[in-house]
Structure 1
Amino acid sequence: MSERIEEIGIIPFGIESWSASDLRVNERMSARLTVSAPFPVAAFERGRAATIRLNSAMLGLPAPNLIDTEKTIRERLAEYLTRLAGPWNPIGGQFLGRYLAFLDTEVDRHRGEISDRLAPFGGLYDPRDVLYSAPAPLPRAFVHAPAPDTRSEPGAIRPEDFVKVDFAFLVGGKTIAALGLPSRLTPGTLRRLQERLSAAGVTTVSFAAKDLGSEDGAVFRELLGHEGLRFWKDETLPIAPGRPELHF
C-alpha cells in the first residue's frame, strides 16, 4: 500500500464487512491517489473541504442495462442506493425516498435563482438537474472512528478502526453519520458507537420513521448543515450521475 495513504480518507459502503487486503491504492501521473476495491468505497483527501455528491463517480452507479433503458437517472439512482442499503431495511429505503423528495423541495425553493444561473446556457439545463450536486447518502457506511487508546500504524488501514452507520455523508470535509431509530444495537453497544463517533469528530444525527415525514425536512437540514444546503450553487454546470471517473 502506498506510503502516502495517510493523505486520504476512505468510507467503504453498501456492504456488511470488508477487508483492507481488498483495497488498492493507485498513484496517478497527477500525483493524485485513488482507491479501488471490489465493493463501493469513497475516497477523499484529508484536510481538503471535499463533498461526496450524488453525481460523484465514486458512488459507483452502474451503467443502464437493457431493462433499465426506460428508467430515468433518478429512478436508477434511487434503486441503486436502496439496494446498497440492504434487504429487510424499510427505514433505509424510506430515508432515501424522503431525502430525494427533500432535495426536490429545495430545488423548487430556489428555482428562480437556479434558472438565472443556468440562463446563459440557453435552456440546455433544467433547474432540476442541480439535484445531483447534493451530498450523497452512503448506505451501510464504515466511517473512521478508532476505539480509545488504539494505536494505529502509519500507513495502515484497519477495518477495526471503522464503525458501521446507517448512512454517512461527507460535506465540506466533515463526516456526518445518520443513525436510524430504533437501533438494532443494544443500548450499551449504541452508546459506545456514539462515543467513538464523537471522539473521532464525526457529527451524529439520529432519526426515526416519524422524523422522515416532517414537512420541513428538519432531519435533512440538520444532516446537511448550511454548507450542504447550498448544493444548488456549488457547481458551475449540473452533472448527472453515472459518468466515468477521469484520471490525468
Structure 2
Amino acid sequence: MSVAVDYEQAGELKIGQVGIANLRIRTLDVQRLTEEMRSRVQRAPNMFGRAAVVIDFGGLSQTPDAATAQALLDGLRDAGVLPVALAYGTSETERLSQALGLPLLAKFRASYERGEGGVEPVAAAPAAATKREAAPATVAAEPAKTSRSATTPAAAAPSSSVGLIQSAPVRSGQQIYADNRDLTVLTTVGAGAEVIADGSIHIYGPLRGRALAGAQGNTKARIFCREFHAELVAIAGHYKVLEDIPKELRGKAVQIWLEDEQIKIAALD
C-alpha cells in the first residue's frame, strides 16, 4: 500500500527587503541613549513607536559586556522601540549576540554613512541578491530645524543610469527601490509606502509615505514632489520626519536637498 507524502511546506520562508532602523552607539551611556530614543518616539510615534532597531557597537573602542548591553536593550524597549539584532562587527560582537540571544545582521542594502550618532532608516539586504558588499550602516545626526529662508540651489547632476519609472501608485506596505539610478513615480506614494533610490527621486503626485534618496551616500541626490505630506524624507542618511517640517510647506510642491549636512526643503515656484 502506497503512502501519500505531503511535500507542501507548513511555512514558506522568503528572503526579502525589510524596512529597519540602525542605531550606531557613539557613547555607551545607557540613560542618555534611552532618553534620546524616548524623545524620538514621542516626537514621531508613527515612525519610531515599536520600530525594529538594529544595535551597532562598531563606533565604540570596546564591545560592552553582556550586562551593560542588556541594560541598553531594556532601556530602548522601555523607550518604545524593539531591538531585534546586533550589527555584525567583531568576534566579540558575535559572542555578545549569543549571550543576548539576538541575531547578527551583516549586510544592509541601503547604507547611510553620514553624520554623528542617531537613528536612521535603512533596509536589510536580500541575502543572495546584493552584488556589492556594504558595511553595516552608520547613522546620521539628529537633524536641525529646516531653514525657512534657504535659497534654492542648482539642480543635481543626473544619474548615469537609466532611471526607474513607477507608473502605478505605491501603496501602503509597498517598497520601490531604484538601484544605482533615479526613481520617477508618476502618481502617488501612499501613507506607509516607501520609495528609495541611489539617485534622486521625482514624484508627480502626493508624497504621503517615505522617500529616501542618495541611499548609497550620494549627497547630491534630491527629492522633488508635487504635493508634500511625507512621513519621512532622507538624503544620504540625513532625515526629517513630518513633525520637523514647517506647516507652510505641507501640501506644497517642494524640492529637498542636502546642504552642510542638513536637510533643506523649499517650495517650488
State the TM bucket, normalised to the shorter chain: under 0.3
Question: Which structure has the larger Rg?
Answer: 2
The structure richer in helix per residue is: 1
- TM-score, length-scaled by structure 1: 0.27
Using CA pairs under 8 Å that are at least 6 residues apart, name the structure with larger relative contact order, 1 or 2.
1
